[in-house]
Structure 1
Amino acid sequence: MAAARHNTLDFQLCAKADGDAILKGLQSVFEEQAMTETIHSWEEHGYLATYINKNGSFASLRIYPHGLVLMDVQSYNNDLKGREEIDNLLNKLEERMKELCEGSIARLKRLPALVRGGKIDKYWPTADGRLVEYDIDEVVYDEDSPYQNIKILHSKQFGNILILSGDVNLAESDLAYTQAIMGSGKEDYTDKEVLILGGGDGGILYEIVKLKPKMVTMVEIDQMVIDGCKKYMRKTCGDVLDNLKGECYQVLIEDCIPVLKRYAKEGRMFDYVINDLTAVPISTSPEEDSTWEFLRLILDLSMKVLKHDGKYFTQGNCINLTEALNLYEEQLSRLYCPVEFSKETVCVPSYMELWVFYTVWKKTEF
């Protein structure tokens, strides 16, 4: 599958840009490529020139009076020869601009090509809105379940990465995430009752089973996540997803809300509840966002099935999302019972950002 390639070349000049001189100076470079020129000019806003090639590639040159010069080249040539032609064009444009500006370039920036519409999507936003390009080289799994789109992509650095409805969830490199949401090695799970909400990648279940718990119950709504991960994320889940029941664990393919309500009614209690369902919402309007209502419901129900000395673990979000994290902490004061909490920040490799994790427990009453 072919893809469009978008190359950029930016110059910040030390002084105001002489648009006429730059246009005339670069004209010969575009003429060598047999590109047709069209120029638009504004008295106060500089120039926009476009250059179109017969093969469908085109370039735009934007000259701002204050000294910013932007060059963009888009092409649909995915073969090596086509990429080399574009690189040669950019090299010539860069060399010619240096000649024209005679050392008055304060900053020059040339980025790798942005590939658009390719078979493999390599670009994913971080939680705080920055764009990250992953070294994805293969689509391992791509299916739509009744609940979400499920992708597993292979990264040279991070191994296979689970992506649910466009959100990076977990990579095979991300043991740090699993350890953090389990208490960072500070908890003794021996002979304990554990409830995992979500966790369809199997990472938490796999690590806890090693610690000899009495029983782990994992509630995951999407069987297709489990099916994909047990085949393509085995470095994360090992063999625990091969069967829905083991010596000290069971996996329920259900919505966790009815399960939590049922357990609360039955009086069933757990030493640990681990919420691996969703991150703290980016929205800062809890009354208008159903995700906040969902999280508050999960928290209340979890507290009802948590032993008086038990602990509730969950992920927060990116450390830069301070408003959303503060709002989440406010929600903790609105539960049916008083709670206390602590948090820690962990570097999760494939997230490429620092991530906050919470520990919540019932407040001791004196």
Structure 2
Amino acid sequence: MYCIWQTLLPRATSKSALSFTHTDHSATVRGLQSIFQEQEMTETVHDTEGHGYLATFIGKNGRFAILRVHSHGLVTFDLQCCEGDDITQVDNLLNALEKKLKALLHGNVQRVKRLPALQRGAEVDRYWPTADGRLVEYDIDEVVYDKDSAYQNIKILHSQQFGNILILNGDVNLAESDLPYTQAIMGSGRECYAGKEVLILGGGDGGILCEAVKLKPKMITMLVIDGCRKHMRKTCGNVLDNLKGDCYEVLVEDCVPVLKKFVEEGRTFDYVINDLTAVPISTAPEEESTWEFLRLILDLSIKVLRSSGKYFTQGNCVNLTEALGEYEELLGKLSCKVDFSKEVVCVPSYLELWVFYTIWKK
């Protein structure tokens, strides 16, 4: 068995962790009590109804600790401290506990692990989940932009490693480091855009438009809800400074009515690039509205795609096999028969492998 010994220091920094085998709970606890007494921490024992031992400790400077000895041998120790607490004292406490536990267990320790401290309540939030539910701590040091639009919350945070990161409704969308994402959703250099007509759905960061303009297309029409012209310059360059250029036009509108208008007019494109939303991570009924939106955009996009054209879009994290499978089944139920291929790319700021789709009419 193993034990994780974790310190949680709100708005501070620290280390933490531990692990070992089945043991006599009462003997282990008695052996540790002297350390808590030295730290002037008051113990409260809680009833676990026979499931091991659980105690909380309150000490000076607002320290709060939870010691849990599980019946199968796992021991966890969580320590919470306030900003300004003496980090040396905290380390000394953890070191003393680890040393004492090893002595009490006569070396029968399978694993010792200290986890980095979580900084709760900090002015700058550094924790963002991956698509498959893992928690990532970014090296974010500044909130560059934070605003609620009519459609979503928009944040741009600065990372020392990834540059400015665009976050929409709590999801990491794109960082200035993420050129591999933009290249993948445009076909990874395999397509010739010269003289072609291109429709971009979404892509408010301007990255796709910036890269597409370099390839000398005939005309790019971009439907976007919000832009990042001021704070994502390394991604969008200067293409968002003006909503119309020699070979592009940016429409700040809801894409659904415009797509329906294009269908009615019979307007078609050589390439449609959908950067509106990823495949929903869940196939549960409560996500049905998102799946319906995805179906609608897909169907309308295929209708405005020329017979020789291609439709590019992101999928989601490669680990979300059920959701990706659902999406691929959806492709077989469109009003027009299509075929597809997919590519897996590592997107730097996502810290995970991401699936991209190329779709064309049969």
Superposed, 1:214-233 pairs within 5 Å as: 214-222=218-226, 226=227, 229-233=228-232
Alignment counterpart, residue 89 of structure 1, candidates 66, 76, 93: 93
* 25-34 or 341-350, larger mean C-alpha shift: 25-34
Aligned to 1:100: 104
Q: Which residue of 2 aligns with 1:20?
A: 26
Give the C-alpha shift of residue 84 in structure 1: 2.8
* SS of residue paired to 1:98: helix
- Change over 3 Å in CA distance of 1:265–1:156 after alignment to 2: same
Matches of 2:331 and 2:213, distance apart in 1:
29
For the residue of structure 2 that corresponds to 1:116, the secondary structure is coil
Match of 1:205 among 205, 209, 222: 209
**Conserved? CA contact 1:4–1:74, under 8 Å:** no
> Which of the two has greater strand per residue?
1
Say whether the 8 Å CA contact 1:6–1:74 is kept in structure 2.
no
- Tell me how far apart the structure 1 counterparts of residues 274 and 114 of structure 2 sit (CA, whole Å): 43
**1:319/1:42 CA distance change after superposition, 3 Å:** closer
CA distance in 2, matches of 1:27, 1:269: 75
Residue aligned with 1:340, SS: strand
Q: Distance in 2 between matches of 1:114 and 1:9?
A: 10
1:24-173 paired onto structure 2 within 5 Å = 24-42=30-48, 44-76=50-82, 78-79=83-84, 81-173=85-177
| Conservation of the 8 A alpha-carbon contact between 1:346 and 1:354 | yes
Cα distance per residue 1:79-128 (max 9 Å; x no partner): 3x533322221122112212222210111111000111211111111111
Aligned counterparts of 2:270 and 2:248: Cα–Cα separation in 1? 15
Partner residue in 2 for 1:253: 252
Write out per-residue CA displacement over residues 206-234 of structure 1, whole angstroms, 9 at most, x where no aligned residue: 00000001111100123xxx1xx211111
Summarize deviations over 1:114-151 as a string: whole Å, max 9, x none. 11121111111111111111111111111111111111
The residue correspondences of 1:169-188 to structure 2 (distance < 5 A) are 169-188=173-192
2: CA distance, partners of 1:253 / 1:307? 24
Verify the 8 A CA contact 1:311 1:361 in the aligned structure 2. yes
1:251 positional shift: 0.4
How far residue 43 of structure 1 moved from its aligned partner, in angstroms, is: 6.4
Residues 43 and 196 (structure 1), Cα distance of their counterparts in 2 relative to 1, 3 Å cut: closer
In structure 1, list runs of 5 or more residues that go unmatched: none
Structure 1 counterpart of 2:20, which letter? L
Displacement of 1:66 in angstroms is 1.8
Q: Give aligned pairs, total.
A: 354
- Alpha-carbon distance in structure 2 between the residues aligned to 1:130 and 1:263: 40
Equivalent position of 2:283 in the other structure: 284
CA contact (8 A) 1:283 1:289 kept: no
Aligned to 2:4: none
Query: Given residue 75 of structure 2, which amino acid in structure 1 is its aligned partner?
Result: V
Contact kept, 8 Å, 1:6 with 1:116, in 2: the verdict is: no
- Matched to 1:349, the amino acid is P
8 A Cα contact 2:10 2:118, kept in partner: no
Report the Cα offset of residue 164 of structure 1. Answer: 0.3
Contact in 2 for aligned 1:17/1:63 (Cα 8 Å)? no
Residue correspondence of structure 1 range 186-201 to structure 2 within 5 A: 186-201=190-205
Give the superposed CA RMSD: 1.8
| Residues 1:300 and 1:42: Cα distance change in structure 2 (over 3 Å) | closer
SS at 1:282 equivalent: coil
Structure 2 residue ranges without an equivalent (≥5)? 1-8
Change (3 A) 1:186 1:65: same
- 1:342 and 2:348 correspond: no
SS at match of 1:141: strand
Could you tell me the TM-score, scaled by structure 1's length? 0.93
SS of residue matched to 2:19: strand
SS of aligned partner of 1:108: coil
| Separation in 2, partners of 1:42, 1:304 | 62
1:208 aligns to what SS in structure 2?
helix
